[in-house]
Structure 1
Amino acid sequence: MQVFRGIPEQADQPSVLTIGNFDGVHRGHQALLSLLTEKARALGLPAAVLTFEPHPREYFSAAEAPARLSSLREKLILLAASGVERAYVCRFNADFAALSAENFIDGILVRGLAVRHLYIGDDFRFGARRRGDFAMLQSVGRVNGFGVESMATLDVAGERVSSSAVRAALAKGELAHAAELLGRPYSIAGRVAHGDKLGRQLGYPTANIQLKHRRPALSGVFAVSVEGLLAARTVQGVANIGTRPTVDGSGRPRLEVHLFDWQQECYGAHLRVHFLHKLRQEQRFESFDALTAQIRRDADDARAWHAAHTN
């Protein structure tokens, strides 16, 4: 998949396009992307996605913006896996927020991307003050020679599939529910960095996954599986994601994974951690002895869960 930062002044070829944030690339997104790629194949054109960085809600109110389900890198990986051939990452800033709906259509859809067919969600709005809507796109599309289709919201067991619904499930520790909405277990990917080696001192060495500035959508202690190591299989483990209140007063979230039966160093490796089952909430302990005893119980509980759920 080709990734473009920004929109070209003039398209090099026409495209079939969809627009959205695609946070988490859940089953609703996947259904939309399936329509996109099918249409692109039929027209012999590249399937393209226009997405935004940062998320518009982060731009307008960072403190109130929802936790991201996926980083930009993870989102692009998921889009590529869904058959998208071109991803245009548009910087959402003051200039873009002030862009009129008419200029969005003319400068981006018509000139910059030469759209021949456009798919949008049924609640899509665009342009300054959200003036642009489906009816406007259809009207302009007839004049400029591109078709427009909207896709109704996908329901799973009577529930609307959305990034908000996934976040709510993760926040409550309902990982099976989140996986049903996503079409896969929820995961976080990142590079292993050096930490303070406290886990090693306590007898449970951990791989510390960089979260950078991302606020995670879940917290607590989990049974996990990890891929990306120098192994042909995923590796089972137990993970803590949170602020480590017993040992760290910074409040900065961290993801630490203890890998079962793994002796090799993995600093610098890019790992993907799949969250399979929540064991407990994160909590503060009065001593390192109490913390160590709980880590031992967590590891035993995670091993028992894996043993009961691994074919």
Structure 2
Amino acid sequence: VIRHLLDKAREFALPSLIIVFEPLPREYFSPLQAPARIMSFREKVAALAELGVDRVLRIRFNEALRGMSAQQFVDDIFVAGLGVRYVVLGDDFRFGADRQGDVAFIQQEGRRHGYEAGPTPTLEVAGERVSSTRIREALERADFAEAEALLGRPYSISGRVIYGRQLGRSIGVPTANLELQRLRSPLSGVYAVEVHGPGLAGAVGVANVGVRPTVDDSIKANLEVHLLDREVELYGRHITVTFRRKLREEQKFASVTELREQIGRDIDAARDWFASAD
């Protein structure tokens, strides 16, 4: 879809633009049941910029947008708002109240308003359709090779390092706590990771993604990273954590002492894996 969009933008000598909805519709309707986000909004914008997209239009999904007809969406946003010359769509795209609008409708309206529209064929990898569901399933299995093939890059999570409860530092295992900007994560467990950020270039570490059941009762996912053999002041900085290997599931321990002992074993397991991967 993006390659098609960029080709058409060059053909028309116009900026490329992608429309995204925030929150995602399923998050709006059922935030606790909605599928885990693969990328935050900031990660999505950064990834699109790397691919060469010029602009991103974020439209807030709310009751007004929910009730907007496909006709009104085309008239108000595509035509009056953006003055589109060409619209690129996934072949399964639906929009408008009750999902009234589809590719055929947009093409029909294009003939009336003077723009063109074209669907992009389904992208397949290994003979199967690439979809967010398939990516999430690969991440749940910790199959990072398949996730990379589907995404076109290694799977990572980025975020700003915030102040946590300082528990890790108090037990001799300081961690960087990331603000995930999402309720749920597609990953859960303990992982061997690489970290990129200020003063870091592929620094190896151990990350926990989950709700920290030993020390917290939160339902919101957290990401904590411990760097191996180094300490870097990261508070307030933006870092990227790339997941390489799952070490174990997240679990609840009877005491902080048991947790500390398990973290020590996790660190040893991560060292062994990185040594074998070199």
Q: Which residue of 1 aligns with 2:228?
A: 260
Alignment of 1:229-268 (within 5 A): 229-231=198-200, 233-268=201-236
Is 2:47 aligned against 1:74?
Answer: no
| 1:290 Cα deviation after fit | 2.2
Q: Quick one: distance in 1 between partners of 2:28 and 2:246? A: 32
| 1:61 Cα deviation after fit | 2.2
Read off the aligned partner of 1:264 and give its amino acid letter: V
Is the CA contact 1:190–1:271 (under 8 Å) kept in the aligned structure 2? yes
Which segment is superposed worse, 258-267 or 87-96? 258-267
Alignment of 1:116-155 (within 5 A): 116-155=85-124
Q: Quick one: distance in 2 between partners of 1:117 and 1:308? A: 50
| 1:181 Cα deviation after fit | 1.0
| 1:212 Cα deviation after fit | 4.0
Read off the aligned partner of 2:28 and give its amino acid letter: Y
Q: Quick one: distance in 2 between partners of 1:49 and 1:147? A: 16
Q: Quick one: distance in 2 between partners of 1:307 and 1:35? A: 42
Which segment is superposed worse, 202-211 or 118-127? 202-211
Q: Quick one: distance in 1 between partners of 2:57 and 2:26? A: 19
Secondary structure in structure 1 of the residue aligned to 2:209? strand
Read off the aligned partner of 1:286 and give its amino acid letter: A
Read off the aligned partner of 1:293 and give its amino acid letter: E
Is the CA contact 1:227–1:272 (under 8 Å) kept in the aligned structure 2? yes
Root mean square deviation, CA, Å: 1.4
Identity between Structure 1 and Structure 2 (%):
51
Read off the aligned partner of 2:213 and give its amino acid letter: P
Read off the aligned partner of 2:251 and give its amino acid letter: Q
Q: Quick one: distance in 1 between partners of 2:103 and 2:163? A: 49
Read off the aligned partner of 1:207 and give its amino acid letter: A
Q: Quick one: distance in 2 between partners of 1:101 and 1:301? A: 53
- The structure 1 residue matched to 2:263, chosen from 272, 295, 306, is 295
Q: Quick one: distance in 2 between partners of 1:117 and 1:264? A: 48
Q: Which residue of 1 aligns with 2:143?
A: 174
Is the CA contact 1:175–1:278 (under 8 Å) kept in the aligned structure 2? no
Is the CA contact 1:205–1:258 (under 8 Å) kept in the aligned structure 2? yes
Q: Quick one: distance in 2 between partners of 1:102 and 1:95? A: 14
- Structure 1 length-normalised TM: 0.86
Q: Which residue of 1 aligns with 2:58?
A: 89
- Structure 2 length-normalised TM: 0.95
Is the CA contact 2:196–2:202 (under 8 Å) kept in the aligned structure 1? yes
Secondary structure in structure 1 of the residue aligned to 2:32? helix
| 1:308 Cα deviation after fit | 2.0
| 1:189 Cα deviation after fit | 0.9
Q: Which residue of 1 aligns with 2:9?
A: 40
| Structure 1 residues 122-152: Cα deviation after superposition (integer angstroms, max 9, x where no partner) | 0111111111111111111122221111011
Q: Quick one: distance in 1 between partners of 2:231 and 2:138? A: 34
Q: Which residue of 2 aligns with 1:283?
A: 251
- The structure 2 residue matched to 1:61, chosen from 6, 30, 41, is 30
Read off the aligned partner of 1:199 and give its amino acid letter: G
Q: Quick one: distance in 2 between partners of 1:60 and 1:246? A: 31
Unaligned runs of at least 5 residues, structure 2: none
| Structure 1 residues 157-212: Cα deviation after superposition (integer angstroms, max 9, x where no partner) | 02211111111111222222212211112111111111222212222111111124
Is the CA contact 1:242–1:253 (under 8 Å) kept in the aligned structure 2? yes
Secondary structure in structure 1 of the residue aligned to 2:146? helix
| Structure 1 residues 277-306: Cα deviation after superposition (integer angstroms, max 9, x where no partner) | 111101112233322221111111111211
Q: Which residue of 2 aligns with 1:227?
A: 196
Read off the aligned partner of 1:117 and give its amino acid letter: Y
Which runs of 4 or more aligned residues in structure 1 lie more than 6 Å from their structure 2 counterparts after TM superposition?
none
Secondary structure in structure 2 of the residue aligned to 1:234? strand
Q: Quick one: distance in 2 between partners of 1:92 and 1:288? A: 42
| 1:259 Cα deviation after fit | 0.6
Is the CA contact 2:199–2:232 (under 8 Å) kept in the aligned structure 1? no
Between Structure 1 and Structure 2, how many residues are aligned? 278
Which segment is superposed worse, 111-120 or 194-203? 194-203
| 1:60 Cα deviation after fit | 2.1
Read off the aligned partner of 2:144 and give its amino acid letter: L
Is the CA contact 2:210–2:222 (under 8 Å) kept in the aligned structure 1? yes
Secondary structure in structure 2 of the residue aligned to 1:63? coil
Q: Quick one: distance in 2 between partners of 1:35 and 1:212? A: 30
